[in-house]
Amino acid sequence: MAWKLSSALMLSFAGLLLTTGFTVQPVNKTRKDYEATGDIVWEVPMKEKLIALTFDDGPSPRTTPMILDLLARNEAKATFFVVGKRVEQFPDVIKREALEGHEVANHTYSHIYFNRQVSAVKITDELARTQKMITDLTGQNCQWFRPPGGFFNDKVIYTARKNGYTLVLWSWHQDTKDWSTPGVDKIVNKVLNNLRNGDIVLLHDHINGSLQTVRALEKILPELKKRGYTMVTVTELLRHKKPKTQLSIIEETKRHPIGK
């Protein structure tokens, strides 16, 4: 797994692309703008104690089944953002994900970073190849797409929308950085110490042989249950999305100032 930019930096990067690049879209968009149009989901603030665990970069023949066992034991559902070329190698793993009630979503075919050099045709192909495999293997055809590294620009958003996808990123305070193997406790504390209703938690089920995420989940899942949380898919989380009031938009902007 390659490095990732911090979430805040990513948004600045997206803004930079907009101002310097190819696009005819308005520049200097904020997170609020993207949320208002429904083009990107970071989290779904709510009163209910629901949380969406998401796993990127799989499937892995070793760690994904271990994670599925843990999810089953804790009555948790999750969303797996799978990479098409790995689905080709390990199709049975995503079949199991779907059979056990989890959501299988699109994380491109080759885990390419969609910078501004990548064409709309390439983006469309990366999404379509993976989606066909997911649908053929699982019968699911969900609309969520997570761009590798969290890279996006308006070409990515427009191409995704044109093909029926919505970008799903993650709560900025729930970026566990488990891909960098920071230690089990760091992953556990990141999730549990920052918990808010409606969070989307970023985890990985394929990290070059590391079991840190699995070990962290052994602690996180029972604790979430103990605190009264239900772990649901992104689709289920979004079913609880409330129409925004002006006040809630202002509050949210305060919580997530532009570029912070």
Q: Which residues bind Zn ion (CB under 5 A)?
A: 56-57, 148
- Residue 57 annotated in active site: no
Kindly tell me which of 204 and 256 has the beta carbon lying closer to Zn ion.
204
What letter does residue 157 receive in the DSSP assignment?
Answer: H
- First-to-final CA distance of the chain: 25
Rounded Cα distance between 23 and 4, Å, is 24
Kindly tell me which of 71 and 169 has the beta carbon lying closer to Zn ion.
169
Kindly tell me which of 56 and 175 has the beta carbon lying closer to Zn ion.
56
To which residue do tokens 């023949």 refer?
61
**Which position's Cβ is nearest Zn ion?**
56
State the nearest-atom distance from the C-beta of 62 to Zn ion, in Å.
18
Rounded Cα distance between 134 and 30, Å, is 32
State the nearest-atom distance from the C-beta of 51 to Zn ion, in Å.
20
From the candidates 56, 154, 178, 199, give the one annotated as an active-site residue: 56
From the candidates 204, 205, 206, 256, give the one annotated as an active-site residue: 204
- Residue 204 annotated in active site: yes
Q: What is the DSSP string of 45-100?
A: --SS-EEEEEEES---TTHHHHHHHHHHHTT--EEEEE-HHHHHH-HHHHHHHHHT
Name the region of 111 (left: φ>0; alpha: ψ -120 to 50; beta: rest): left
Kindly tell me which of 45 and 148 has the beta carbon lying closer to Zn ion.
148
State the nearest-atom distance from the C-beta of 98 to Zn ion, in Å.
20
Q: Which residues are catalytic?
A: 56, 204
